[in-house]
Amino acid sequence: MSVPLTFRPHHFLCALGYRGKGYSDDFTANMTRIVTDGLFAPDGDTTLITVRLTADSICTPCPKRRGEGCTAGDKITALDQRHARAIGLTGGETLTWSEAKSRIKANVRPADLNTLCAGCQWLDLGLCHSALEELHSA
């Protein structure tokens, strides 16, 4: 991708599990551009992503975004804290998508998602679970 990406910690797993669903048409179009056309493009593994602890590239068109925050602020902060610990991410750190996937594979199992992603409205769809199973079998 030509534009440097920023991700909140929980968005690394969201990107891995993304399958064309989102909060709004604008959100879904942005997420598709970042994930499908970017990270999963032939050269996507070299994409640089900087970890942010506030609104990021994925949040840009989200209808729940409020400035650098979110209407679900406490829930999102808790998700970010759990994901940062599990994956080994720190605010301001920059890594490639390939490095991020390696960390996820080394540290997160599909069975971890019920705890790690507790409160996420997308969890019950099983998209991240399937994506993690694919990552671990690759």
Task: Please determine, for residue 43, whether its predicted confidence score (pLDDT) is greater than 90.
Answer: yes
Q: Looking at residue 9, what is its pLDDT?
A: 97
**pTM assigned to the model:** 0.93
Has residue 69 got a pLDDT over 70?
yes
Q: Is the pLDDT of residue 114 over 90?
A: yes
Structure confidence at residue 3 as a pLDDT band (50, 70, 90)? low
Q: Which residues of 82-103 are buried (b: 16+ CB within 10 A; e: fewer)?
A: bbbebbebeeeeebebeebbeb
- Is residue 101 scored above 90 in pLDDT? yes
